[in-house]
Structure 1
């Protein structure tokens, strides 16, 4: 269901940067890679309804896949999901329910709904088939890059994209490529979990990057990160929105704060990039954002 997305070459300071534009997927985020694969798998088994929990992107991708496959969809969202995302999900024919203050609470409701007969639960990040689908992104990079990059920048919420990237690196043999796993300061479950060697549940994750606000990461991330060269980073909401504005001004791409988080270390000149020459940044989504958001963030930066 997903398409092969472009790799846009540019420079940020002294760095050669490849921008992997997965915001150009039909569902406007990388989510369609894994979710499309998982939905096709369940549809082939005769499932008659998909149920998912989502802050926005995953729900839109499941609704998109369900419409393509002719399978009805129920999406359970938290209160933080903006109204325009609710309209977009409904426009694809999905039933929408709003439950809970954060994604984890919406997820609990979705799991109960998915107990119905002939119904499949489509998680936003925690399923091996999702990771297999997301790994296709790195397989594309292996064909698009002349040489393996020194590092790949990836935004992290629950960790589905990161697990897919790690699987993709294994498939293409890029063991020396470092992964810079970027989280918002107010929702950094991965950094805490890796530091303590166990999944750490956050009491109240907070960030403008609502797509990355989860209380805990996928448990599989602990072992996967230990087996690879993964460096967790955190960025502020201001750094994430600055990156959104910069990408719009420099390359005409409209992205959301969750995606801006992955690009923020580039524009902020983060110390983790020192000594690197060639990196790839996954431009993971441009769904949870409006032109009004970009204008407001630009105004805030000009006033600072």
Structure 2
């Protein structure tokens, strides 16, 4: 068993974790993406951690921590605070190992995540409106019920478990990678990966990725005060401060941290879905988003990405994919003002159809005061092949005497 009081994480700890969890978690695929390489200008290799049973890498650290418990601690049971992937990893492997699990989640946690965690046999308690409040309640219960607290990232055994990803990544490529681009929340994933990767290949770059609203590691490494807050699609890495053990490792081993915005993360989620035919949550797509946002930083390099999770709400995924069509002008809303006479809509529809576009939705407005009494206003949602095709449709309508305005 590893000594959890020893602060310094070493390659040997990660290798020991690999032996402990072998056969109990997936050795996930590491694949080269020719299309994403062409798009980003880097040679892109992807570690598909969304192929884990709970669809996220958190299983590795959770299992290694659970396996490190004494028999007496296993009987007492464990408690964790999490709104997502750590909760499911602890619950799933706790159930497998016969260890009682309690998970405290904020009251606004999406129902699907709550239900999945309960389905793995955990006692789920919804408490507080924020992770901070949920954590306070978890700590209180931990002391009151004499449970063992399983921290999601600031724990040596957890970091060692996450670091097993690096062992697989470096072993599964034919030539050495130039850099690893790793999403950063609390820092458990990048701490474990950096420890293993730098020990095996000292010249490899390890680069963290954070969202602009939560630049915890980015700011702390620069000696700047923490500034975090807001809404992000990458809620899995929306952490205000990194763990203390994690920061110590990152300070020594992480070469750089880059920031990405919401629009770029949405693009990355869409590319994973359309190019790789796989599902990524916002945090899982952060590595690819970094390549899209900072192309010159990674151009020509052999880059390893960790698609660290695929637990995205289906409605949110649908919204992201639809928004990508709007962004690429494959879905465009146009407004046409014309005279209110029979057959006008049929004429406009024919022009659009003859141009090869598809009408998705039509709204017909005669009562708006800014429309002439003898006029009619149409808002038409049109699907096209691309931005050039959209322009061709607009030109055809203009030539027919009904110049549209994009909304």
Give the structure-2-normalised TM-score: 0.70
User: Which position in structure 1 is the counterpart of 2:275?
Assistant: 250
Output aligned runs, 1:162-177, within 5 Å.
162-171=190-199, 173-177=200-204
Return closer, same or farther for 1:286/1:43 CA change in 2, 3 Å cut-off: farther
User: Which position in structure 2 is the counterpart of 1:233?
Assistant: 258
Return closer, same or farther for 1:43/1:26 CA change in 2, 3 Å cut-off: farther
Per the alignment, in what secondary structure is the counterpart of residue 84 of structure 1?
helix
Q: Is the 8 A contact 2:212 2:259 kept in 1?
A: yes
Separation in 2, partners of 1:163, 1:101: 29
Asked if 1:296 is matched to 2:319, the reply is yes
Q: Deviations over 1:191-219 (max 9, x none)?
A: 1111107xx54463532211112221112
Output aligned runs, 1:270-281, within 5 Å.
270-274=295-299, 276-281=300-305
Shifted more, 9-18 versus 111-120: the winner is: 111-120
Q: 1:25 aligns with which of 44, 52, 73?
A: 52
Asked if 1:8 is matched to 2:36, the reply is no
User: Which position in structure 2 is the counterpart of 1:215?
Assistant: 240
Separation in 1, partners of 2:89, 2:275: 27
Q: Is the 8 A contact 2:155 2:245 kept in 1?
A: no
Asked if 1:261 is matched to 2:286, the reply is yes
Runs of 4+ in 1 over 3 A off after TM superposition: 43-46, 200-206, 267-271
Q: Is the 8 A contact 1:59 1:75 kept in 2?
A: yes
Separation in 2, partners of 1:204, 1:244: 22
User: Which position in structure 2 is the counterpart of 1:81?
Assistant: 109
User: Which position in structure 1 is the counterpart of 2:359?
Assistant: none
Per the alignment, in what secondary structure is the counterpart of residue 283 of structure 2?
helix
Q: Deviations over 1:23-46 (max 9, x none)?
A: 111221111111101011125444
Could you tell me which runs of 5 or more consecutive residues in structure 2 were left unpaired when the two chains were aligned.
Answer: 1-23, 328-407
Higher relative contact order (CA 8 A, sep 6+): 1
Return closer, same or farther for 1:273/1:203 CA change in 2, 3 Å cut-off: closer
Q: 1:282 aligns with which of 298, 306, 309?
A: 306
Q: Is the 8 A contact 2:170 2:197 kept in 1?
A: no
Give the structure-1-normalised TM-score: 0.92
Q: Is the 8 A contact 2:170 2:177 kept in 1?
A: no
Count how many residue pairs are aligned between Structure 1 and Structure 2: 299
Q: Is the 8 A contact 1:175 1:228 kept in 2?
A: no
Asked if 1:52 is matched to 2:80, the reply is yes
User: Which position in structure 1 is the counterpart of 2:143?
Assistant: 115
Asked if 1:132 is matched to 2:163, the reply is no
Structure 1 vs Structure 2 CA RMSD = 1.8
Shifted more, 100-109 versus 235-244: the winner is: 100-109
Q: 2:119 aligns with which of 91, 103, 117?
A: 91
Could you tell me which runs of 5 or more consecutive residues in structure 1 were left unpaired when the two chains were aligned.
Answer: none
Q: Is the 8 A contact 1:19 1:282 kept in 2?
A: yes
